[in-house]
Amino acid sequence: MISQSKIKLINSLSKKKYRDLNQLFIAEGEKLVGDIVNSSINIKWIFATKNWIDAHKEIKADEIQECDLIQLKKISQLKNPSPVVAICKIPSAKHCDSLFGENLTIALDDIQDPGNLGTIIRLADWFGVDYIVCSNNTADAFNPKVVQATMGAISRVKVIYTNLEEFIKEAKSQNIAVYGTFLDGTSIYEKRLSGHGIIVMGNEGKGISPKIENLISDKLLIPSFSLNQEFSESLNVSTATAITLSEFRRRI
Amino acid sequence: MISQSKIKLINSLSKKKYRDLNQLFIAEGEKLVGDIVNSSINIKWIFATKNWIDAHKEIKADEIQECDLIQLKKISQLKNPSPVVAICKIPSAKHCDSLFGENLTIALDDIQDPGNLGTIIRLADWFGVDYIVCSNNTADAFNPKVVQATMGAISRVKVIYTNLEEFIKEAKSQNIAVYGTFLDGTSIYEKRLSGHGIIVMGNEGKGISPKIENLISDKLLIPSFSLNQEFSESLNVSTATAITLSEFRRRI
């Protein structure tokens, strides 16, 4: 039996307030939890069926509790409970020793849509980006829907929330290039791009905020090939991120 | 006053069955309707405030009816009605004379998610693709939510529904290249890409169907740069479309 106090705590984690308070998030499903147990994410509790536990003897968690699907349904956020639910510790910036390392880092300036955030985490995983650094007003990556939508990518890409302006100032003081996409930038197809730097992606409606724009060292443009360029809208932030990451990687 | 029979017909257009039956779709909002009146889409009815009509004397539509916001609310699909609602004719393949012209064409093989479809229409607009040819099982581009999500792109990109297998067979008989992305293709960064051909994008879960795969002339791969490639999932179809279109265009 899962205790009432645990059931109450776990269900509260669907709200950001309680994720922040407890520094915990929920992950469900064999594939996703399988990815997390192979990652650097620390697991506090695992609730799983006997079959799942028997097949995963080597798992590290503070506590592993066997339970049946009827009990799992009480803590599941999904329509059909899976055989395993993991309660995981939210990674913190303190645990990141190489944020200014030799790789690309994505910085998100107030991205609002959880769907875009989930897509960007999957893209970072695909293109081998280790860290996504989010402004404190960016949507929460540890929202159960985002966690599920990343399809395991959240176990491999570290997502950190911090004061983005301070973070980028610190990077600049270490001479790290800071890229961003703008309508008045240099074509991304013509610019020499580094394999080491920060790529800033801006809010869906407002783009990159003025205080962050002041810190950009290299303004990039994704050119439009439309014959009606005066009508053409800007690209959606997740497709712009896809094109930008592809361009940075293809050059290495 | 908008007649009861028109109100009933217009509200029925939120359902695919009635869009198909009447070959009509709804577009709302000053920006979107403004884009449509500048496009090749034919408008059956416009319902708009006096101010909007006075500012748009040159608009062509079978009928233009002045009405106030209280009446517009009866036919609006949005939370807050805009000053103009247009009832437009769905473009048909019969009106397309240059489907095998000198440009790129996107073919969608059973894309299910309306959000992905809207994003792909915006990408086609950005990258100057004139036609999107959809299998009959692809999500409906004339669903009011998709129309609004394309932010005007649907007025510039022609979206056609047809038997995709027959369409691609016809293209092949004219020696037109047919591209598709696969996990066992040639790297898109190394392959010579044409500015003339069909790019097939597959279903979210199943990818490109076997009967269409048999017709692909050039299999492309978007390479992953992940250190954990064995875990990395495939890309979301709209981000894969973004990267593919960017690669085709940057080479021209």
Query: For every one of its 252 residues, what pLDDT tens digit does chain A have, with 9 covering 90 and above?
Result: 899 999 999 999 999 999 999 999 999 999 999 999 988 899 999 999 999 999 998 888 999 999 999 999 999 988 888 999 999 999 876 655 556 678 999 999 999 999 999 999 999 999 999 999 999 999 999 999 999 888 889 999 999 999 999 999 999 999 999 999 998 899 999 999 988 999 999 999 999 999 999 999 999 999 999 877 666 667 999 999 999 999 999 975
CA distance B15 to A111: 32
Q: CB of A7 within 8 A of CB of A72?
A: no
Task: Tell if the CB–CB gap between A246 and B250 is shorter than 8 Å.
Answer: no
Reference B125, options A145, A230, A208; nearest CA is A230
DSSP state of A139: P
CATH homologous superfamily for B95-250? SPOUT methyltransferase, trefoil knot domain (3.40.1280.10)
Residue A98: what pLDDT?
A: 57
Write phi, then psi, for B149 (nearest 5 degrees).
-70, -25
HSE (CB half, 13 Å, CA atoms) of B106?
Answer: 31
Residue A232: what pLDDT?
A: 64
Encoded tokens for B175: 């020696």
Residue B230: what pLDDT?
A: 61
Residue B38 at interface with chain A, using a CB cutoff of 8 Å: yes
Neighbouring C-beta atoms of residue B60, cutoff 10 Å: 9
CA distance B150 to B123: 9
Q: Nearest CA to CA, how far is B244 from chain A (Å)?
A: 9
Pairing of strands B218-221, B131-135: unpaired
Residue of A nearest to B151 (CA): A233
Residue B219: what pLDDT?
A: 97
In the CATH hierarchy, which fold is given to the domain comprising B4-90?
60s Ribosomal Protein L30; Chain: A; (3.30.1330)
B119 vs A contacts (CB less than 8 Å): 236, 238-239
Pairing of strands B131-135, B104-109: parallel
Residue B238 at interface with chain A, using a CB cutoff of 8 Å: yes
CA distance A187 to A224: 10
> Exposure of A230 by Cβ count < 10 A (0-12 exposed, 13-18 middle, 19+ buried)?
exposed
Domain boundaries, chain B: 4-90, 95-250
Q: CB of A189 within 8 A of CB of A222?
A: no
Neighbouring C-beta atoms of residue B59, cutoff 10 Å: 19
Task: Tell if the CB–CB gap between A125 and B226 is shorter than 8 Å.
Answer: yes
What does the angle CA A210 – CA A165 – CA A177 come to, to the nearest 5 degrees? 90
A153 vs B contacts (CB less than 8 Å): 232-233
Residue B127 at interface with chain A, using a CB cutoff of 8 Å: yes
Task: Tell if the CB–CB gap between A222 and B246 is shorter than 8 Å.
Answer: yes
Write phi, then psi, for B132 (nearest 5 degrees).
-115, 120
- The rounded average pLDDT for each run of 10 residues, N- to C-terminus, in chain B (252 residues) is 94 95 95 90 96 90 94 91 94 64 92 95 95 96 92 91 94 93 93 92 95 97 82 84 96 60
CA distance B219 to B225: 19
Picking from A32, A37, A121, A126 by the largest number of B CB atoms within 10 A of its own CB, the best residue to mutate is: A126
ipTM, 2 dp: 0.90
CA distance B75 to B25: 12
HSE (CB half, 13 Å, CA atoms) of B202?
Answer: 19
Residue A227: what pLDDT?
A: 77
Residue B96: what pLDDT?
A: 54
Residue B98: what pLDDT?
A: 57
Residue A247 at interface with chain B, using a CB cutoff of 8 Å: yes
Residue A221 at interface with chain B, using a CB cutoff of 8 Å: no
- B residues 154-193 lying closer than 8 A (beta carbon) to A: 156, 189
Task: Tell if the CB–CB gap between B122 and A222 is shorter than 8 Å.
Answer: no
Domains A4-90 and A95-250 share a fold: no
B235 vs A contacts (CB less than 8 Å): 122-123, 126, 242
A227 vs B contacts (CB less than 8 Å): 128
- Residue B186: its H or E element: strand B178-187
Residue B157: what pLDDT?
A: 93
Counted across chains A and B, CB pairs separated by less than 8 A come out at: 107
